Chains A and B, each alone.
Chain A
Amino acid sequence: MEKFGFSISKGRQIDYEANDRRVADFIYEREPSFRLCIECGGCSATCTTGNLTKFSLREIHILIKRGENDKVREDIKKCMLCGKCTLVCPRGVNTRNIVMLAKQAFIKSDEYAV
């Protein structure tokens, strides 16, 4: 390969078809309230972790749904499962279970390369 002094940039676009959305399906199947999120951000606002570091449960929800798993994989470990998000959620989304299921799904995907 010739040295051109640059490399081909990777796009920021979410390629819905190309993305692996099995983590999302895993959660949808086990926690139907995952569908109820309206992205209001109440969870992120009350979140201890979110107030200390760049962590947004709202964003995590949406990224999982789009299959942008790599961005979530590490971030989700920052959750303390304290449950404040569940208490403030206006839609009754079972946020803690979603975090737990996502963690589980990632472990499984590591193991079996979902």
Chain B
Amino acid sequence: MKQEGKRAIWSEYQKEIADDKFFYVRSCIRQNFFPGSEVAFLRIMRDVLKKDVYEHPCHTTCSGIGYHGDVVPVETAMTVVARQFALMTEAGYTNYVPSCITSFGLYTEILDTWHHFPEVEEKVRKQLKKATGREFRIPENLAHASDVIYKFRKEIFAQAKYKLINKETGEPLKVVDHIGCHYAKMFPSKGVGGAEYPYVLSGMVEEWGGETIDYPERRHCCGFGFRQYLVQANRGFSVACSKEKFESMKPFKPDMIITNCPGCPMFLDRWQYVINEMEGKRYGKNGEGIPVFTYEEVAGLVLGFDPWDLGLQMHQTDCEPVLKKMGIEYSPEDKYNTKICASVSENHNLINV
């Protein structure tokens, strides 16, 4: 592997990411899968980085799941998205930050469509106006939440309590970075590092002391695939996808997986459990699984957040091996003790009704 070659490509795929004043929109499914992640994002942005992040109570689904599941027509999706933009416009923000990769992909796709077909944009504007009376401006900056964390990776590291380094050996942790398909595969120029060698997560990992692994099935989908997962009979395809990735990454002996998509951490995490149940196979060291994290969780760990505040107890593949390697202090007995999340300050209600 020639790193300089990769760096050359990364330098070609840089994107503009806003510095402050973010209009943050949550993901439909992340809130259920790993709710700690979005909370951690807000905590990092607001408390650690002291940024202005606004959340609108009237934000709805972007309808991306329906769009990719072939039940929502594109024009409907556009109108729903136009409404989100209207909320941003009304709130006085211009930097749109979705938490969801599929949303990010859909927004990118829609903006690109409008760019090439202004008449479609006009039609959507009319439809939105007619239906809701709202008007919108196109965001000045569209960045995925992981882009934002990527942008502030150095600032985060400046306040880091832990590094992605095995405390006992001093070796960097080997990290598999898994990028959501809708991040850059459709529009390579809209992703940090492009589609073939995305840098958005690698950049964080490198900055925080770890080392990313480039394994053959790196580009492969996690297997979520919407229709594959949603229909129970099709879930075999979904597991098979994840399995192909695990088989491929196994020889590299990864310590952990980092993801930036709502579905990927869920499936890479859950399918390890399912594969173990079905076939008795594990892919980590010492018969363990490979812990799977979202980038917010990793950032939170680096910043010294409590693992259970980050919601790591929600993972089916135990995350403790990584906690131990990083030397993170945590209390095992509190893992499943429900408590009010300390991070949610009264000033920042989750829902600003």
Contacts and interface: CB of A to CB of B under 8 A. Distances in A.
Q: Do chains A and B touch in the complex (CB under 8 A)?
A: yes
Interface of A: 1-2, 4-11
Contact of B233 (A1, A6, A8): A6
A48 B122 CA distance: 61
15 contacts: A1-B277, A2-B278, A4-B235, A4-B277, A4-B278, A5-B235, A6-B234, A6-B236, A7-B236, A8-B236, A8-B243, A8-B278, A9-B236, A9-B239, A11-B240
A9 B237 contact: yes
Given A1-B278, A8-B239, 6 more contacts: A4-B278, A6-B236, A6-B239, A7-B278, A8-B278, A9-B236
Interface in B237-282: 237, 239-240, 243-244, 274-275, 277-279
Contacts of A10: 240
Interface string B65-79: 000000000000000
Contact of A8 (B232, B234, B240): B240
A9 B223 CA distance: 12
A7 to B, nearest CB: 5
Nearest to B243: A8
A4 B232 CA distance: 9
Contacts of B244: 11
Highest count of chain B CB atoms <10 Å: which of A1, A2, A4: A4
A92 B233 CA distance: 48
Contacts of A7: 236, 278
Contacts of B234: 6
Interface residues of B, number: 15
A6 B233 CA distance: 6
A93 B279 CA distance: 45
A9 B278 CA distance: 12
Interface centre among A2, A5, A7, A9 (most CB of B within 10 A): A9
Nearest to A5: B232
Contacts of A4: 235, 274, 277-278
A11 B277 CA distance: 20
Contacts of A5: 232-233, 235
B226 to A, nearest CB: 16
Contacts of B243: 8
Nearest to A10: B240
A41 to B, nearest CB: 31
Nearest to A8: B239
Contacts of B237: 9
A6 B232 CA distance: 7
A8 B275 contact: yes
A4 B279 CA distance: 12
B204 to A, nearest CB: 32
Nearest to B223: A9
A16 to B, nearest CB: 13
Contacts of B236: 6-9
B309 to A, nearest CB: 31
A9 B233 contact: no
A10 B279 CA distance: 13
Interface in B200-247: 232-237, 239-240, 243-244
A11 B239 CA distance: 11
B277 A6 contact: no
Contact of A6 (B235, B275, B279): B235
The 10 closest A-B pairs by CB, nearest first: A9-B236, A9-B240, A6-B235, A6-B236, A8-B239, A9-B237, A2-B277, A5-B232, A7-B236, A8-B240
Interface string B124-168: 000000000000000000000000000000000000000000000
A73 to B, nearest CB: 24
Nearest to B274: A4
A21 to B, nearest CB: 21
A28 to B, nearest CB: 28
Nearest to A13: B244
A9 to B, nearest CB: 4
